[in-house]
Amino acid sequence: LPISTPPTPINGLLGVGGVGQSDFLWYVRTRPRVLEAFARLWAVDAMYEDAESCAAALLTSFDGAGAFRPWASDRRWRTMPGWWHVDQNSRAAAPRRGRCAVQGLVSLKRQDATTGGFAVLPGSHRGHEALCANSASTIGGAGHFVPLRGGDPLLAAASARFVSCEAGDLVCWDSRTIHCSVPAFGGDGGASALSEAAAGARLQRDCLLRLTAYVCMSPKRVAPEAVRRQRKIW
């Protein structure tokens, strides 16, 4: 990754230093199976017969990445739990209602209880309107990042589910679904991997507990013409 800034200790996000336009992110976005998955999600594959036409019918976000460092080396590297949020606001200045975005991540490493990773509140998209109605009193305001307050009834109404996955898996979710990343709730914080690296049995860069590339694609047809032109300029 062409960045020198480490992931934020709060949530492990990598979103600065041009990471969204890095070779790493563009490599992941252009994998045939990733494009195929989003083409199927939006039924673009039913409109075109070949993969190249399907890909050309999609617009991609310029999301960043995420990484969890082995916090056995430094306790300050252990990310924080509980930053539940959605990335779609039906009450924003430019409101988005219904299923209008499907977010995704491609995991570059196996994710389980010993690493931490992605968690969701299944079915929470049904309470999206209620959440957004109260978003003016949160950090979200008129934007599309809508965090939940600690006492929000939506947190009590659903059981959190950790999403285990293998390296190379694509995980997708409706943007109205409440989600966040969570730290490991087991394991040794990467201590064994660090010991192997110290002994020369593994590369230091392979000691990351988590490495993900965030990917989100939508049909080009839903974007206003001005947005399409701006994308071409970029």
The secondary structure of 79-95 as a DSSP string is PPS---EES--TTSSS-
Q: Is the pLDDT reported for residue 202 higher than 60?
A: yes
What letter represents residue 183's amino acid? P
Tokens of 131: 């959440």
| Structure confidence at residue 111 as a pLDDT band (50, 70, 90) | very high
Structure confidence by residue, pLDDT tens digits, 162-193: 999 999 999 999 999 999 999 999 999 999 99
Q: Is the pLDDT reported for residue 216 higher than 60?
A: yes
Percent of the chain with pLDDT over 90: 53
Q: Please give the average per-residue pLDDT across 64-85, as a whole number.
A: 91
Q: Is the pLDDT reported for residue 16 higher than 60?
A: yes
What letter represents residue 97's amino acid? R
195 Cβ contact list (under 8 Å, min separation 6) = none
* CB 106, CB 163: distance < 8 Å: no
Q: Would you state the pLDDT for residue 141?
A: 61
Q: Would you state the pLDDT for residue 179?
A: 95
58 Cβ contact list (under 8 Å, min separation 6) = 35, 38, 39, 42, 44, 217, 218, 219, 220
Please give the DSSP secondary-structure letter assigned to residue 44. Answer: G
Alpha carbon dihedral 132, 134, 139, 142, in 10-degree steps, equals 50
Higher pLDDT pick, 95 / 193? 193
CA distance 11 to 134: 24
Q: Would you state the pLDDT for residue 3?
A: 54
Q: Would you state the pLDDT for residue 168?
A: 97
* CB 173, CB 179: distance < 8 Å: yes
Q: Would you state the pLDDT for residue 1?
A: 55
Q: Would you state the pLDDT for residue 24?
A: 94
| Structure confidence at residue 224 as a pLDDT band (50, 70, 90) | confident
pTM for this entry: 0.90
Which range has the worst mean pLDDT, 171-175, 217-221, 229-233? 229-233
Which range has the worst mean pLDDT, 3-12, 162-171, 209-218? 3-12
Structure confidence by residue, pLDDT tens digits, 124-169: 999 898 888 876 655 556 678 888 877 778 787 778 999 999 999 9
Half-sphere exposure of 127 (CA within 13 A, CB side): 19
